[in-house]
Amino acid sequence: MKHSIEQKCIEKGVKLTEQRKIIAKVMSESEDHPDVDELYKRVSKLDSKISIATVYRTVKLFEESGILTKHEFKGGKARYEELNESHHDHLIDIKSGEIIEFVDEEIEKLQEKVAEKYGYKLVDHKLELYGVKKNS
């Protein structure tokens, strides 16, 4: 069975080149939120000839096609993850850099309500929590 991103490319009519297939595969198999450099490293192991320009072009294309989503957490580089049905936000451990994904329906609803209150329709949002582990 094809991995999920390649599948989505077909559905969305995104042309599949060798390079895109590799990038799609790597992102599909990634459990984390790699930045372009990291993605480039992983991709290079499968095909050392892929250029970083192609990686940049591809993540941008995938993002515009609604296949990947881009995060700009604190500290510079953009990071990507596969976009799927289940929306979630992020809790970031500022010591270790570990990222925990979470969903909170109540917060989601309240956000809609805030937008509503000011006469806006919510089209997107960003919620990031930065924390330190409690000495448990």
Partner DNA sequence: GTAGATGCAAAGTATTTGCGACAAG
Partner DNA sequence: CTTGTCGCAAATACTTTGCATCTAC
**Among residues 1, 45, 49, 135, which is the contact residue for DNA, using CB under 7 A?**
49
Residue 25 binds which one of a copy of itself, DNA, none, with CB within 5 to 8 A depending on kind?
A: none
18 sits near a copy of itself (criterion: CB under 8 A): no
Residues 74-113 that bind a copy of itself (CB under 8 A): 74, 91, 93-94, 100, 102, 104, 106-107, 110-111
61 sits near DNA (criterion: CB under 7 A): yes
116 sits near DNA (criterion: CB under 7 A): no
Number of residues engaging a copy of itself in binding (CB under 8 A):
33
Give SS3 for 71.
Answer: strand
Residue 19 binds which one of a copy of itself, DNA, none, with CB within 5 to 8 A depending on kind?
A: DNA
Q: Are 50 and 103 in contact (CB under 8 A)?
A: no
Tokens of 6: 């390649």
Q: How many CA atoms lie within 13 A of 30 on its CB side?
A: 24
Measure the CA angle with vertex 90, ends 86 and 95; round to 5°.
150
